[in-house]
Structure 1
Amino acid sequence: MERRSIIMSRNWSQRTKALFMWRLLLILALLLSFVPPLAVGADEPVVENIILLIGDGMGAGTRTAARYYYVGPDGQLAWEDFEWAGVTLTYSEDALITDSAAAGTAIATGHKTANGVISMNADGTVSYTTILEEALARGKATGLVATSQIQHATPAVFYAHVPSRRQYNDIAAQMVDSGVNVFFGGGETYMLPETVTGTYGPGSRTDGRNLIEEMVALGYAYADNAADFAALDTETTDYALGLFGYKGMERPFTPSLAEMTEKAINILDNDPDGFFLMVEGSQIDWANHGNDADNSIGDTVGFNEAVEVAEAFLAEHPNTLIIVTADHETGGVAVETMDDPAQDGPYTTPEGDEFGVDFTSTHHTANDVVTLATGPWSHLLAGTYHLTHIFDVMHQAL
């Protein structure tokens, strides 16, 4: 019977074949019409604010170590109860193992690029529009918070466009005309001429420009210590520059990542059109590069506190999309039984159980990371996708 059916199909007329194909296409179209679209429904709340929190170098092992230490194996870090989660791929345009410049560019612009490039194409000839720049164009306030220098790769990709992440002085110069409302982090040296010594050390600029003075002249309130930071009036401040380190901030971070996040939100929330804020736990990555589990865990706990600040804001402002992700994994971190003197530890859970932390690398790895999200449009971040998809969702949500 099967053979007869095959022979009969060879004898179909062209008209019969065409009619069959037309009917098949109609059936497929009807079936596809029942597949829910990726886009949100008409009743989905409007997104007024986006808070993007990036744990640089924070992979599964880092999260597990921080969770075990801070809340125990049955507990959750602040973002681990978000409704939607996705496995996130991190490779760059030219390498299986990304760096923060290429990974950050993917998140900020939706484009893959070569390692080392800041929000441009791989050969540095075309600039890509960033999600922060899109937010500015829509009249929203914008802010960047980091524990690294604010000119470092991840914060830089949101406001700067340079062929090399090492062009710190050029990146700093682009802060002046960026229109960004809030910059909090380290990096004082790149803002000052080499003839001037600032609070944290000598400047490194060879063009004679004092970018701090230029930004103050533009209306930025400036703070370079905890007292001045605390004195910033969030009700009357629209633009703020806070530099709390020569390059990266020194531990213990003063102000803390959570304090900077809260201050930034309170300033940005003055804008009736909403805001975009990126917060980076920058030195999780640096600790993992150094196979330093103490600071890796400590910085991840500090990052957790910043996420808690964002969650508290969401509770009062439901039209806020919060996304927590990592740009890549660093160190090949593993949580293990404490049975090797080469391991870091022992660390103890709140219940008194011991564990060790081991590293397989001092570099970035290709390990996938996890993105978690809550708030309107967050369901679009479920599944498996590249870092570029995070931009796609933010772009749609704006």
Structure 2
Amino acid sequence: MRHIAIVGSGPAGYYTAEAAQKQWGDDVSIDIFDMLPVPYGLIRFGVAPDHQSIKGVTRRYEQTALSNNVRFVGNIKVGQDVSVAKLQGLYDAVVLATGAPRDRPIDLPGDHLGNVFGSAGFVGWYNGHPEFAALEPDLSGKTAVVIGMGNVALDVTRILAKTRDEFAGSDIVGHALDTLMGSTIQRIVILGRRGPHQIMMTPKELGELGHLSRAAPRVDPQDLPDLDDDAMLEPGIRKSVTHLRSFAAIPESHRADLPLEVEFDFFAAPRGLIGEGKVQAISVERTRIEAGRAVGTGEFYEIPADLVVSCIGYQTSPIAGVPFDERAGRFANDQGRILPGLYCVGWARRGPSGTIGTNRPDGFGVIELIAQDMPQAGRKSGRPGFDALAAERKLDIVTFRDWKRIEEAEQARARDGAPREKFVDVGDMIRAIGQ
């Protein structure tokens, strides 16, 4: 019997478990650890609450989770409750699938000012992550600036722009919905260092901005390259640029009747945040593209900013005793191998890139590495050994059956039309298990 520990219960973790089952059938025992009492990681806390169809992938993970040789081990902080080295002593292979839950630093003068957030915190706030539930962003100003040209920037913009009716069917947490409905934001500026041809926004997500009831997105036609240049783009980016062209063609008379402005500011690099105690404006330098890079032109201007959300990427959280690549913001690894018997997968391996589905071949790839490195079944204690350790340390393990009780409680407390109302406090999650 092979014993595998997977640290992280998001997409990369469950795809890795699925791959291990296909590789070894019943001759493998898999424990999936998570620091929270609830599974699914990025799906629960990163995917936008109004994208419920994407969250449906958890049904596939549940099939894996309910298998006889897979166990969810929630409420265990690896690196605190148990070290990676200790897990390596208990399991034949340890796979780190912890994702990239930290924001890439904005690293600008004034980034310490109030009402300046990274997307990990802001998205975690409206998605009910216990670490960010008490964030309390102030939405009483007039202008919000969203820095970034990827899908997360689109998510943040869309969430700030929607009406209560547009959140029907979503699982946005109640405290965030109430705050958003009290917002006085009148203008949202999406700030990008480069131009329309360099955006990382996908067509579906970008197209959603064109269907907001309170706003019609604005693109300056002068920022758009010649139409003939679109032919050189990859098909997905070409479709996204087509959306930008359609936004640029929206008549101003149509926008005049709408209470909210959403505008793209291309070729605009943030250089500093301005304010006293709380952000009031952002200093921006106009850029031009040289060899695909944004280069400053020396032309500066300021944008009023009562709220700033930086959506410029994520980093993996280091774990004591595990080699870490600070520059890349992920575990130091060679195609998934970190140390003998220690591996990483997903964003923890390659950084925050690709879609949810990208993690499936990644999971199968790391299991192939383990199969190469471990052609014979190991002799480590695995699950029984960890259970003995947990009993000795009085660790309170949350199982998948326990999670299902939490899920039932969240569904029971949902507002009308919502699939659930998430618990945002770990203590409340634990108490729901015993109800």
TM-score by length of 2: 0.25
Q: Which has the higher contact order (CA 8 A, sep 6+)?
A: 1
Q: Which has the larger radius of gyration?
A: 1
